[in-house]
């Protein structure tokens, strides 16, 4: 198994320590968060990003909020927590892992009758460890679909940086590469934050996986001319019918894959599946400031007076997805029934 050398977040000396992904690949800088407000800010400003990673960060944010509340009033600390939990949940709206992790921590708090600080940190640590184990399992399951000498394509960053440290989509890529099945990977640059250029290409190159960076607009051409076998992406939310919300541009890649004979794989832990959301039409799509589109690295490149629309996710319909890989199994053509049956299985 190919291990990643990248650790995007860790708990250290009473603080959540985050690798600042805004500054990669030029600078590897870590930020210490000692309050839940700092965690909310870090999630919102994309210091930490990727659905599983922000879920883990949210869990540690609850620990920080509870610690502060307990220090202020050891007898009534639970009553002070709802605003902090709400702020953490709302830090980014599309990725369901964040709300899932905060809600899991809230349920754990409700079940405690004694000083919960050590136990609460233990629960956050379990969420962290479970994600890493799930990543490795998904890597194995997804790699089984990849034939030798395959050319793959991925979008945005669903790697070690977006998770506990191995990756969902890139976990499959890493595992397939370790098995000798990957000829090369095409990584889309992923405007406007360039997660593919700054993060995915950096990750894969650092871990010895052959990667070539492409512009977003060249993806269909590359699929046709270079024989891409699989497009492999992560997900921020999977609706009950199998529709998937992921980084803007994913939907277009799925359409291009179908047109050019490439298969389309989504890799996401079960915490990303939201049976309470019936379809992709019900998923809230985050829109970020237009300045992210109008500027690059702080320098404006669009004419003054021009405005921008900046949705940062789109929805890929389930009928364009060849397989959804989770830690509990791989689902060809996911739908309402197969997703419900998957979540009914006990975790392995």
Instruction: Give the CATH number of the domain where residue 121 resides.
Output: 1.20.120.420
C-alpha–C-alpha distance, residues 178 and 174, integer Å: 6
The per-residue pLDDT for 49 is 93
- Residue 142 and residue 119 share a domain: no
Nearest one of 251, 254, 182, 246 to 223, comparing CA atoms:
254
At CA 73, angle to CA 18 and CA 33, rounded to 5? Answer: 10
Q: Which residue has the higher pLDDT, 4 or 237?
A: 237
Contact 159, 254 (CB under 8 A): no
- Residue 109 and residue 142 share a domain: no
Choosing from 133, 150, 179, the residue where a domain stops is 133
**Structure confidence by residue, pLDDT tens digits, 81-97:** 999 999 999 999 877 89
Question: Which of 236, 243, 314, 322 is an active site residue?
Answer: 236
Catalytic residue check, 282? no
For residue 96, give its domain range: 9-133
Looking up tokens 């490795």 gives: 136
Range in 3-7, 93-97, 255-259, 318-322 with the lowest mean pLDDT: 3-7
Q: How many CB atoms lie within 10 A of CB 148?
A: 10
The per-residue pLDDT for 347 is 74
Q: What is the pTM of this model?
A: 0.91
State the number of CA atoms in the 13 A half-sphere of 240 facing the CB: 9
Q: Residue 56 falls within a domain, yes or no?
A: yes
C-alpha–C-alpha distance, residues 115 and 133, integer Å: 29
Q: Residue 124 falls within a domain, yes or no?
A: yes
- Residue 287 and residue 143 share a domain: yes
Q: Residue 2 falls within a domain, yes or no?
A: no
- Residue 153 and residue 64 share a domain: no
For residue 2, pLDDT over 60 is answered with no
C-alpha–C-alpha distance, residues 99 and 276, integer Å: 13
Q: Residue 128 falls within a domain, yes or no?
A: yes
C-alpha–C-alpha distance, residues 219 and 205, integer Å: 20
Q: How many CB atoms lie within 10 A of CB 259?
A: 11
- Residue 315 and residue 237 share a domain: yes
- Residue 92 and residue 106 share a domain: yes
Number of domains in the chain: 2
The per-residue pLDDT for 115 is 63
For residue 26, pLDDT over 70 is answered with yes
**Structure confidence by residue, pLDDT tens digits, 211-258:** 999 999 999 999 999 999 999 999 999 999 999 999 999 999 999 999
For residue 32, pLDDT over 90 is answered with yes
Q: Strand 299-300 and strand 295-296: pairing?
A: antiparallel
**Structure confidence by residue, pLDDT tens digits, 124-150:** 999 999 999 999 999 999 999 999 999
Contact 166, 135 (CB under 8 A): yes
Looking up tokens 């198994």 gives: 1
Q: Residue 3 falls within a domain, yes or no?
A: no
Long-range Cβ pairs for the range 32-40 (8 Å, 24+):
33/60, 33/61, 33/64, 34/64, 35/64, 35/65, 35/68, 36/61, 36/62, 36/64, 36/65, 36/68, 36/84, 36/87, 36/88, 37/87, 38/64, 39/64, 39/88, 39/91, 40/87, 40/88, 40/91
């Amino acid at each position: 198994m190919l291990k990643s050398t990248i650790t995007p977040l860790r708990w250290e000396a009473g603080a959540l320590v985050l690798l600042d992904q805004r500054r990669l690949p030029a600078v590897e800088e870590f930020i210490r968060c000692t309050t839940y407000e700092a965690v909310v800010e870090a999630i919102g400003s994309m210091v930490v990003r990727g659905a599983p990673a922000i879920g883990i960060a949210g869990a540690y944010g609850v620990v920080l909020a509870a610690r502060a509340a307990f220090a202020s009033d050891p007898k009534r600390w639970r009553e002070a927590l709802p605003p902090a939990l709400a702020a953490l949940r709302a830090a980014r709206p599309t990725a369901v892992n964040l709300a899932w992790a905060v809600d899991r921590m809230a349920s754990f708090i409700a079940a405690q009758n004694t000083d919960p600080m050590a136990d609460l940190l233990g629960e956050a640590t379990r969420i962290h460890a479970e994600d890493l184990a799930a990543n490795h399992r998904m890597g194995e399951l997804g790699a089984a679909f990849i034939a030798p000498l395959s050319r793959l394509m991925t979008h945005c960053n669903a790697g070690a940086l977006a998770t506990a440290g191995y990756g969902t989509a890139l976990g499959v890529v890493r595992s397939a590469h370790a098995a000798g099945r990957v000829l090369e990977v095409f990584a889309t640059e992923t405007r406007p934050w360039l997660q593919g250029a700054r993060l995915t290409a950096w990750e894969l190159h650092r871990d010895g996986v052959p990667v070539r960076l492409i512009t977003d607009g060249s993806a269909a051409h590359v699929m046709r001319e270079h024989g891409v076998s699989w497009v492999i992406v992560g997900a921020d939310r999977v609706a009950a019918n199998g529709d998937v919300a992921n980084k803007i541009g994913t939907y277009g890649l799925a359409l291009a894959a179908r047109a050019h004979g490439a298969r389309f794989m989504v890799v996401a832990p079960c915490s990303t599946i939201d049976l309470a959301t019936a379809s992709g039409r019900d998923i809230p799509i985050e829109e970020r400031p237009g300045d992210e589109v109008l500027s690059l690295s702080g320098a404006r490149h669009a004419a003054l007076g021009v405005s921008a629309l900046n949705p940062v996710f789109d929805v890929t319909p389930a009928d364009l997805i060849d397989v959804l890989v989770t830690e509990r199994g791989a689902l060809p053509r996911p739908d309402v029934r197969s997703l419900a049956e998957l979540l009914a299985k006990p975790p392995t």
